[in-house]
Amino acid sequence: MRTMFDEQLTLLNQSLIEMGGMVEKAIADATKALVEQNITLAQQAIDYDDEIDAKEKDIEALCLKIILQQQPVAGDLRLVSSVLKISTDLERIGDHAGDISEITQYLAGKPYVKNLEHIPQMAEATMKMVTKSINAFVQKDLDMAKEVIAYDDKVDKLFYTVKKEMIALINENTENGDQAIDLILVAKYFERIADHATNVAEWVVFSLTGKHKRSRIL
């Protein structure tokens, strides 16, 4: 019986790794589409969200199957319930990548009012957070999970930098207003992605220790 349980847990880990990779791709594609103003790639990132949603449903179904068949307790139950929560956060990251791509399509055709220096930095940081949070879960690495949680401060600082720059552009010329506000929204979506990656890391901490802080974003 335990052998079957272990096989199911292995499959669960693999599925979560695959979902993490899908989310990383969604962020990368959304970022590239934004920087290059590529509406075709932006649409691909939007459409890709359906595959991420399907993967979340597969993971959810497997978690429920394990709970019903194996009736896990203590650490095993924490593990499975953490995967359920993590997959939800990953799905919402995919949603935000789609949100960014929708704004990209709206902004296409006009030059940016400012070089997008800090927004790609936010994207790179969030992808790193997603990757490390999933690795922390698979490797049961508490220190790595805590590193992800601490790294969120870097993304927050980048967001405030972007916001400050865009507000300055609006003050210089009100005609910059519409695009500047949209770029603030893009930065905010990246900041939310970082919050979800932090949630993932906090669920990793819970799976290992039984202790969990309240999720930052629903």
8 A C-beta contact, residue 191 and residue 159: yes
Whether 67 is covered by a domain: the verdict is yes
Q: What is the pLDDT of residue 145?
A: 96
Q: What is the pLDDT of residue 43?
A: 96
Determine the structural domain holding residue 161 and report its residue range.
Answer: 2-209
Whether 217 is covered by a domain: the verdict is no
Q: What is the pLDDT of residue 214?
A: 61
Q: What is the pLDDT of residue 1?
A: 54
Q: What is the pLDDT of residue 73?
A: 81
Q: What is the pLDDT of residue 196?
A: 97
CATH of the domain at 168: 1.20.58.220
Whether 218 is covered by a domain: the verdict is no
Please write down the long-range contacts of 53-59, taking CB distance under 8 Å and 24 or more positions apart: 53/91, 53/94, 55/15, 55/18, 55/19, 55/22, 55/87, 56/19, 56/87, 56/88, 56/90, 56/91, 58/15, 59/12, 59/15, 59/16, 59/19, 59/83, 59/84, 59/87
Closest CA to 114 of 157, 41, 163: 163
Whether 70 is covered by a domain: the verdict is yes
Q: What is the pLDDT of residue 55?
A: 97
In the chain, how many domains are there?
1
- pTM for the whole structure: 0.92
Segment-wise mean pLDDT, segments of 10 residues, the chain, 218 residues: 79 92 95 96 95 96 90 84 95 97 93 91 94 92 96 96 95 92 97 97 93 59
Whether 154 is covered by a domain: the verdict is yes
Whether 214 is covered by a domain: the verdict is no
Whether 215 is covered by a domain: the verdict is no
Whether 46 is covered by a domain: the verdict is yes
